[in-house]
Amino acid sequence: MSKVRVLVGTRKGAFVLTSDGKRERWDVSGPHFAGWEVYHVKGSPLDPNRLYASQTSGWFGQVIQRSDDGGKTWMQPGTPPGEPVTTPDGMPKGESNKFLYDTSAETGKPLGTHQFYDGTQHPWEFKRVWHLEPSLTDPETVYAGVEDAALFRSTDAGKTWQELSGLRGHSSGPRWQPGAGGMGLHTILLDRSEPRRIYVAISAAGAFRSDDAGQTWRPINRGLRSQYIPDPNAEVGHCVHRIAMHPSRPDVLFMQKHWDVMRSDNAGESWHEVSGNLPTDFGFVIDVHAHEPETIYVVPIKSDSEHFPPDGKLRVYRSRTGGNEWEALTKGLPQRDCYVNVLREAMAVDSLDQCGVYFGTTGGQVYASADAGDNWAPIVRDLPAVLSVEVQTLP
């Protein structure tokens, strides 16, 4: 009977939660990288033992970690086996991280910002890696989305990285602006049927698509409308919180925008609103049922100034019609005095026959439903604030 592994990134470390076959009992491993912000942990779809983690500290900088044994042990790619992964004063080591931080010549201490060098442009500061996306076709390839917004790719399992500079060099780049949480590239979607196609989303620039493996890009924001920018219908400048798609229908995209739940049926060429009867169309997460491409999930949040569920009731909303018609899923979730948030990376689904749905909160709870959202139960409580949730289905 298949098991499920839930990978959780939090404000103070990463946790690996592994189920029994019925998804009723869970073993908890962690915290890994205790005390560090772990923005994202994700596993390879080609190797269930390979995991990547984005580990960030304002003092030590940005580190990419890799596990080749399902999270039991971790390494910084490029560090020779048997060598410590930190210098004597605690500075992270590893070839993959040489370009991920800079140090002060005067003090020798790590700075709170970091610099990339692409050989042709001036040094460019960035703050953190928001998202890691392993390739669907090559076990050694992984992508990284960073803040300030840029996209990088490694073809040697994280040892070395190269920027796909066509995105940051797009003519619209000077008009990109940070959202409230920064200008992060937080969503990377890969299309198995079109291996050269990549979708990304940037807050607050919008959605972009490449059809040539990341060499050139174009905005795909037609139909988005944002009242809070000078031109509500602008080509770029929209605060996209998350994009999701079902792998069997990569031309159908679902978006949770700063306000509005949106849908595209033509690979992002145009969008239309599907918020329907939601109590509020502000939120961060959106995901798609593993076996039902028209079943989608969101977690409405009261507003962009009040980041908690409406009426203090934590409700996941499900649409079985691809949007517009929504039902509240509440069984097992707190329905009074609940004022947590669910951040953009903090929902995922498994691929078992009875699709499981998982999400984490800023209150440190990770909830699971083994029946597509009808019933919920906490896997674990009292973790640090949850930043990301990803799921692997294990043999």
Query: In the chain, where are the structural domains located?
Result: 3-394
CA distance 284 to 259: 9
pLDDT of residue 124: 60
CA distance 224 to 348: 25
CA distance 347 to 367: 10
Regarding pTM above 0.85, the answer is: yes
pLDDT of residue 198: 98
Question: With the CA atoms of 105, 107, 109 and 112 taken in that order, what torsion angle do they form, in degrees rounded to the nearest 10?
Answer: -80
Question: What is the maximum span of the chain, computed from C-alpha positions, in angstroms?
Answer: 60
Phi then psi for residue 15, to 5 deg, are -130, 145
CA distance 146 to 240: 15
pLDDT tens by residue, 306-361: 999 999 999 999 999 999 999 999 999 999 999 999 999 999 999 999 999 999 99
Q: 88 by DSSP, 3-state: which?
A: coil
Positions in the chain whose pLDDT score sits under 70:
78-125
Environment class of 91 (CB within 10 Å of its CB; exposed 0-12, middle 13-18, buried 19+): middle
Token pair recorded at residue 199: 């979708």
What 8-state DSSP symbol labels residue 111?
P
Among all chains, which residue has been given the structure tokens 């969503």? 187
Could you tell me the fold of the domain covering 3-394? Methylamine Dehydrogenase; Chain H (2.130.10)
pLDDT of residue 126: 74
